[in-house]
Each structure stands twice: as C-alpha cells, then as structure tokens.
Amino acid sequence: MDDPKHEARAADLFYGAVTVGERGQIVVPAEARKHYSLKPGDKLLVFRHPHIHGMVLARLDDVEALLGELRGWVQLVARVREETAVPAERVAQKQKKGR
C-alpha cells in the first residue's frame, strides 16, 4: 500500500475510533455527523460486513432511496433484455446454417 492516492483515500474515509458504552451505545464522531448531516432522531441501519469482522452504518432514508434507484435499474435492464432478445427460432436457424 505504497500508493499515495490509496493512503489519502483511506485517511478520508476514517472519522475516528469510538468506544462501546455499558448499554452498547456508541457516539458517532462529530466530523462524520456533520459530513452526513446526521441529526438527533435520525434512524441508522447497522449491517454486518460480508467479508470482515465489522459493521457498516447507513441512514434509513438513504438506503430506501438507493433501493428505489436500484428498482429503476432492474426495470431498465429487464426492458433492454426484452428489446434485444433474439427469438429462439432465429437462433436455431443460425446454428443450423453454421454447421
């Protein structure tokens, strides 16, 4: 990891360390709260990271917006797939000619 670009990017992603309190609570660092405009009462979702022993926090509203955007992409892909699908008969004919 001698790439200076990689090191700068990693530093930009780190907001600090937190300590888990007796009741399991943490305090999100002020810089992160400011960057993400977190306010008291905002709902955060806590996800298990799939590859490391860690967690990812995401604001509920942002996850809902992402899911809506992804639904749109899924619909677009399905429409493109339909429009570009080659009928099975034409595929079979091309395969016969290729023999």
- pTM reported for the whole predicted model: 0.59
> What is residue 41's predicted lDDT score, i.e. its pLDDT?
93
> What is residue 42's predicted lDDT score, i.e. its pLDDT?
93
Residue 86 counted as domain residue: yes
Strand locations in 11-60 (E): 44-48, 55-59
Residue 16 counted as domain residue: no
Domain region containing 74: 60-99
> What is residue 9's predicted lDDT score, i.e. its pLDDT?
78
Q: What does each of the 99 residues of the chain score in pLDDT, given as a tens digit?
A: 456 666 667 778 889 999 999 999 999 999 999 999 999 999 999 999 888 898 989 999 889 999 999 999 999 998 888 888 777 666 666 777 766
Residue 75 counted as domain residue: yes
Q: How many domains does the chain have?
A: 1
Residue 81 counted as domain residue: yes
Determine phi and psi for 55, rounding to 5 degrees: -130, 160
Residue 20 counted as domain residue: no
Residue 65 counted as domain residue: yes
